[in-house]
Amino acid sequence: MAASELYTKYARVWIPDVEEVWKSAELIKDYKQGDGVLNLQLEDGTELEYKLDPKTNNLPHLRNPDILVGENDLTALSYLHEPAVLHNLKVRFFDSKLIYTYCGIVLVAINPYETLPIYGTDIINAYSGQNMGDMDPHIFAVAEEAYKQMARDERNQSIIVSGESGAGKTVSAKYAMRYFATVSGSASEANVEVKVLASNPIMESIGNAKTTRNDNSSRFGKYIEIGFDRRYHIIGANMRTYLLEKSRVVFQNAECMKYAVFLLTRLGPKTAVFQQYHLMLSNTWSYRDELCITFSS
Ligand SMILES: Nc1ncnc2c1ncn2[C@@H]1O[C@H](COP(=O)(O)OP(=O)(O)O)[C@@H](O)[C@H]1O
Ligand SMILES: [Mg+2]
């Protein structure tokens, strides 16, 4: 069957919209090959003659049947295109507050910008030892899969976290690390996993800064390597940073800030932090009227 034969009366499509990005519409007349327009009705009842581009004659994307919408794996959808992906993610998030969805082995995460009660030790324990497909999509399921495969195949595993600024990469990486620290248990008195987690705030204070899109933006790329012993306990971690935005030290755009560690200077040299790290205020250095710190030793 030619794809165009699917465009019959009552078929539903997505058409581009300046405000809503994609708008749903229903065909009120069968489409015949060669037609220059589609006769559509929008959800608010408005009828519309939708002109097809005469050069490409591309038909709009078809909408998935409602029964498929809300699936926890995007690959289960009949039509997988941008409006289908966005609509499915939106329905899951708005109707059920679900921020995680799979697309095969890839986990798609929506930043909820609020603390959700889905990261506790009870949830970690629920995911521990389970198969990815048996549980709701979650960053813990991805972490569990990597942990399990490391143990089973005795091979290094990598989790790649990507997304635009403010998407939730740093937070996701921290939850994955928390998962490993919790399930791997303590190998020794040294509590290495606690130390690995405790290193995060220090890393962030010297590498994170407020931007217009993220109050705690990591201004560098981060490669975190976590080492496990033969019994799969954490024995150490190695963090390599790259592409640190050095220019931020001396220049910040409007409404952006310098690295968090420099803001400690506002607390003044008498604070414990200053004494602990032998820091003092310097009046001799001034970058764009901002205070700067020097090391006293
Ligand atoms: N899973 C989440 N739950 C709650 N808040 C989140 C989550 N992911 C991100 N956030 C919020 O969004 C902000 C930006 O996320 P962050 O991980 O720093 O973005 P990125 O590293 O991708 O630039 C965080 O400071 C946090 O307030
Ligand atoms: Mg970040």
Give the mutation target among 113, 208, 210 for probing the ligand 1 site: most ligand atoms within 8 A of CB. Answer: 113
207 within ligand 1 shell (Cβ under 6 A): no
Residue 97 has pLDDT above 70, yes or no: yes
Residue 108 has pLDDT above 90, yes or no: yes
pLDDT band (50, 70, 90) for residue 150: very high
For 15-28, write each residue's pLDDT tens digit: 999 999 999 999 99
Q: Which residues surround ligand 2, an ion (CB under 5 A)?
A: 169-170, 218
For 227-238, write each residue's pLDDT tens digit: 999 999 998 889
263 within ligand 1 shell (Cβ under 6 A): no
Supply the pLDDT for residue 269: 61
The alpha carbon of 138 and the centre of ligand 2 are apart by a number of angstroms equal to 19
Among 91, 99, 132, residue whose Cα is nearest residue 116? 99
Of the chain, the percentage scoring pLDDT greater than 90 comes to: 58
Among 196, 152, 204, residue whose Cα is nearest residue 177? 196
Task: Walk me through the domains of the chain, giving residue ranges and CATH numbers.
Answer: 3-51 (2.30.30), 99-245 (3.40.850.10)
The alpha carbon of 93 and the centre of ligand 1 are apart by a number of angstroms equal to 16
The alpha carbon of 166 and the centre of ligand 2 are apart by a number of angstroms equal to 7
Q: Is 166 annotated as a binding residue?
A: yes
- Give, in order, the Cα–Cα distances in Å from 67 to each of 16, 95, 216: 23, 14, 39
Which residue's entry shows tokens 């990469």? 169
Supply the pLDDT for residue 286: 46
- Average pLDDT value over all residues in the chain: 87
State the amino acid at position 202 in one-letter form.
I
Mean pLDDT throughout 279-283?
Answer: 59
List CB contacts of 99: < 8 A, sequence separation 6 or more. Answer: 93, 109, 110, 111, 112, 116
Stretch among 29-43, 69-83, 115-129, 187-201 having the lowest mean pLDDT? 187-201
pLDDT band (50, 70, 90) for residue 222: confident
The answer to whether 79 and 61 have CB atoms below 8 angstroms apart is yes
The answer to whether 261 and 206 have CB atoms below 8 angstroms apart is yes
For 249-261, write each residue's pLDDT tens digit: 877 887 778 888 7
The alpha carbon of 32 and the centre of ligand 2 are apart by a number of angstroms equal to 50
185 within ligand 1 shell (Cβ under 6 A): no
Supply the pLDDT for residue 50: 95
